[in-house]
Amino acid sequence: MQELVSPINLFEYEQLAKSHLSQMAFDYYSSGAWDEITLKDNRAAFTRIKLRPKMLVDVSEINLTTKVLGEPLQLPLLIAPMAFQCLAHPDGEIATASAAVSAGVGMVLSTLSTKSLEEVATVDNGLQWFQLYIHKDRGLTRALVERAYTAGYKAICLTVDAPVLGKRERDQRNEFTLPPGLHPANLTKISGLDIPHEKGESGLLTYFAQQINPALTWKDLEWLQSLSPLPLVLKGILRGDDAVRAVEYGAQGIVVSNHGGRQLDGAIASIDALPEIIAAVDGRAEVLLDGGIRRGIDILKALAIGAKAVLIGRPVLWGLAVSGQAGVSHLISLLKDELTTAMALSGCANLQDIDSTLVIHN
Ligand code: FNR
Ligand code: LAC
Angle made by CA atoms 274, 279, 282, in degrees to the nearest 5: 120
* Residue bearing the CA closest to ligand 1, atom 3: 82
Gap from CA of 29 to ligand 1 centroid (Å):
8
Question: What pLDDT, on the 0 to 100 scale, is given for residue 362?
Answer: 75
159 is in an annotated binding site: yes
Buried (b) or exposed (e) across 179-195, using 16+ Cβ within 10 A? eeebbbbbbeeeeebeb
Domain boundaries, the chain: 10-361
From 132, 165, 317, the mutation candidate for ligand 2 (largest count of ligand atoms within 8 A of CB) is 165
Give every residue of the chain whose pLDDT is below 70, as ranges: 1-5
Question: What pLDDT, on the 0 to 100 scale, is given for residue 215?
Answer: 98
Question: What pLDDT, on the 0 to 100 scale, is given for residue 1?
Answer: 44
Residue 259 among the catalytic residues: yes
From 262, 320, 332, the mutation candidate for ligand 1 (largest count of ligand atoms within 8 A of CB) is 262
Gap from CA of 348 to ligand 2 centroid (Å):
36
141 is in an annotated binding site: no
Strand 71-73 to strand 77-79: parallel, antiparallel, or no bridges (unpaired)?
Answer: unpaired
Question: What pLDDT, on the 0 to 100 scale, is given for residue 86?
Answer: 98
- Domain 10-361, what architecture? Alpha-Beta Barrel (3.20)
- The per-residue pLDDT for range 140-162, each reduced to its tens digit, is 999 999 999 999 999 999 999 99
3-state secondary structure the chain: CCCCCCCCCHHHHHHHHHHHCCHHHHHHHHCCCCCCHHHHHHHHHHHCEEECCCCCCCCCCCECCEEECCEEECCCEEECCCCCHHHCCCCHHHHHHHHHHHHCCEEEECCCCCCCHHHHHCCCCCCEEEEECCECCHHHHHHHHHHHHHHCCCCEEEECCCCCCCCCHHHHHHCCCCCCCCCCHHHHHHHCCCCCCCCCCCHHHHHHHHHECCCCCCCHHHHHHHCCCCCEEEEEECCHHHHHHHHHCCCCEEEECCHHHCCCCCCCCHHHHHHHHHHHHCCCCEEEEECCCCCHHHHHHHHHHCCCEEEECHHHHHHHHHHHHHHHHHHHHHHHHHHHHHHHHHCCCEHHHCCHHHEEEC
Query: Of 20, 89, 259, 330, which residue is the catalytic one?
Result: 259
